[in-house]
Structure 1
């Protein structure tokens, strides 16, 4: 026992030890799955931190909590920016209305249940945050409670009550969302075979299913080597020859050998008699031998192509709102294919009917020369880089926090974005500006994941350690009520939206269920739904509601506290 007391004393003197222990243990515990469902790093960190806090009484400065939360919420805004602003356009109106319906029902049901059970603002906010599985609301709600002017003792109590209610209601919030969307949802929609619905949607979108371990090898583009003997080419520049033979960029001279030596090719390079050139073009063009530079020759080295794959941020208006199929026939896309589309943090399936949005990151591939010609017509290339623009990140968080700290009093009610809301707004705006001029604010995917995941888990660890001593008493007083309230707040909005999507919005069942997981901000439910469908298509309904409600539920963290106060 003496060793345990000594360890506890060391932890109290060095709070960084239990802080990092809770994060590490949370990630480890959250990785375990039962029937495909994992608790997740955030909920697991909170549970571990509550237990450690109750046992050791560790005190950590609230400034640590605020720093981690600001880093997390800024990155949420940064990741959601282009998708959020796209969701406000008329083309996304049905999904926008659907997301708003889900958000309003979640807020209304949480408020009604909290009032019926006589919960205080802290428990009410935690009930909504846990049922909606939206950890972001914890920080926004606690910031708002701190500004109510309730006195230090009552403020501390309400602040500690938020994560208690969150922890109690979170478990069913996740499991319930998974079960309803992936398993009950198809029944409510009258769908007997959700996999068949997904296959039908894929077919409609232009996806062709191939048997396992097979692929289509045929391509319209071929590369041939020719000796320059045709007078039409001799003395002409490469650029002029390409324009004359394939004005739509369907004819490219990709390599050149002169007097046995391979030389670099530019548009200004002049072709000479007996040069050997590699031509990349369509089969039908190459079939016209009279139009070629000369007789075909065998030159394996010259015909071996350097292929390139590049991720490009879509910033050119010509791409906005167009489908993959429409873009495939554009002159600048000759010999180039779209292999991947990323919207926010979600990968979007590449079908013929997939619509490209501003700020999407499309991965294109093909012959290096064709890819380089295509890039400036799409947007800005994101070359492989591990560097993060910390100047923009740090100054953006600072500026957003200043704006969020400003308070306007209407009567006795303090109205404020809160520091978290200000940082969220800064992330949204910086991400939006980057989608138009992506020369600043670079944040690789790995950095984004680290800031979001570690930022949130660090914040949650401090919250759990702080509320640990009060957790048992709060659980005894309101535990069962919050649990049943969480079930109601989870079930009612999702079931109502599924029925509304069927009868009012008349959405495709797969898209509808995907929209439910996005509007409820439950990525775990999206994964379970995709597994049930045997298809990635639900993500097509997920992205717009997710981007919009990420912001709306942050606002709800303020609203629920003000309604309950």
Structure 2
């Protein structure tokens, strides 16, 4: 209708292929080629307010956190709970899918998203370091502790090597996507941060977000299920 060609769609800092089947969302930025008058008319139709897009929507974030804590504290059966890890994750997925029906805008500007991402990783690493630092030497530097470290290393590294060879050799997945898959499969935000900084590509983040929700959910549920089965 506007005699324009859309070359790409940028969503939350990630460039997507502009295919006819792609559904646009609030905050998507379109790059189009054509007559300047048609571009101006399209901007009037779709909206072209950079200032409005740069304003983060914090209300939806706090609503997601609040309901995530509530859902995480609910007993889902057999004494199992999603906890503070699974509850907010499930609520975030539901809000991203159905939030628009309740007038909740889930769009967050790229700068705000990057700030929260980096701040979250820093707080995560600081929390892990503080909690594990106490008694670290006494726990690790002995026969029992050293064997725990060795077995933990084997359990962590061996599956990653096997999955990497299968992903590359059988399914021909590119290296950047494999980095994201491995990071998401281990639910390891520091590994994702390293992949993003070392590659300068969005491919690891896209692959990470694909597998992370299911892995996190299974990790929370399976750990509690094992405890219930063994005890």
- From 382, 388, 404, give the equivalent of 2:56: 388
1:390–1:544 distance in 2 versus 1, CA, 3 Å: closer
- From 21, 28, 33, give the equivalent of 1:361: 28
Query: Could you tell me how far apart the structure 1 residues matched to 2:32 and 2:162 are?
Result: 44
Alignment check: 8 A CA contact 2:69 2:88 kept: yes
Query: Could you tell me how far apart the structure 2 residues matched to 1:516 and 1:435 are?
Result: 33
- Paired positions, count: 215
Which is greater in Rg? 1
Q: Which residue of 1 aligns with 2:177?
A: 515
Query: Could you tell me how far apart the structure 2 residues matched to 1:357 and 1:514 are?
Result: 25
Q: Which residue of 2 aligns with 1:180?
A: none
**For residues 197-346 of structure 1, what are the structure 2 equivalents within 5 Å?**
248-250=1-3, 334=4, 336-339=5-8, 341-342=10-11
Alignment check: 8 A CA contact 1:407 1:416 kept: yes
1:394–1:439 distance in 2 versus 1, CA, 3 Å: closer
Query: Could you tell me how far apart the structure 2 residues matched to 1:399 and 1:381 are?
Result: 33
Q: Which residue of 2 aligns with 1:458?
A: 123
* 1:433 maps onto 2:101 in alignment: no
Aligned-residue CA RMSD (Å)? 3.9
Alignment check: 8 A CA contact 2:60 2:104 kept: no
1:142-201 CA-partner distances (Å, limit 9, x unpaired): xxxxxxxxxxxxxxxxxxxxxxxxxxxxxxxxxxxxxxxxxxxxxxxxxxxxxxxxxxxx
Alignment check: 8 A CA contact 1:380 1:438 kept: no
Q: Which residue of 2 aligns with 1:268?
A: none
Query: Could you tell me how far apart the structure 2 residues matched to 1:354 and 1:249 are?
Result: 15
Structure having greater relative contact order (Cα 8 Å, sep ≥ 6): 1
- Name structure 1 gaps, 5 residues minimum: 1-247, 251-333
Alignment check: 8 A CA contact 2:2 2:42 kept: no
- Give how far 1:373 is off: 3.7
Query: Could you tell me how far apart the structure 1 residues matched to 2:99 and 2:171 are?
Result: 33
Query: Could you tell me how far apart the structure 1 residues matched to 2:77 and 2:226 are?
Result: 16
Q: Which residue of 2 aligns with 1:551?
A: 213
Q: Which residue of 1 aligns with 2:154?
A: 488
Query: Could you tell me how far apart the structure 2 residues matched to 1:362 and 1:349 are?
Result: 10
- Name structure 2 gaps, 5 residues minimum: 184-190
- Give how far 1:376 is off: 8.1
Query: Could you tell me how far apart the structure 1 residues matched to 2:6 and 2:162 are?
Result: 41
Q: Which residue of 2 aligns with 1:187?
A: none
Larger relative helix fraction: 2
- Give how far 1:427 is off: 1.8
1:446–1:434 distance in 2 versus 1, CA, 3 Å: farther
1:440–1:498 distance in 2 versus 1, CA, 3 Å: closer
- Give how far 1:400 is off: 1.8
Q: Which residue of 2 aligns with 1:500?
A: 166
Question: Secondary structure of 1:388's partner?
Answer: coil
Alignment check: 8 A CA contact 2:8 2:16 kept: no
Query: Could you tell me how far apart the structure 2 residues matched to 1:526 and 1:456 are?
Result: 13
Q: Which residue of 1 aligns with 2:81?
A: 416
- Give how far 1:406 is off: 0.9
424-433 vs 484-493, greater mean Cα deviation:
484-493
Alignment check: 8 A CA contact 1:364 1:371 kept: no
TM-score by length of 1: 0.32
**For residues 133-212 of structure 1, what are the structure 2 equivalents within 5 Å?**
none
Query: Could you tell me how far apart the structure 2 residues matched to 1:438 and 1:446 are?
Result: 23
1:430–1:472 distance in 2 versus 1, CA, 3 Å: same
**For residues 30-109 of structure 1, what are the structure 2 equivalents within 5 Å?**
none
* 1:560 maps onto 2:223 in alignment: yes
Query: Could you tell me how far apart the structure 2 residues matched to 1:436 and 1:368 are?
Result: 35
- Give how far 1:401 is off: 1.2
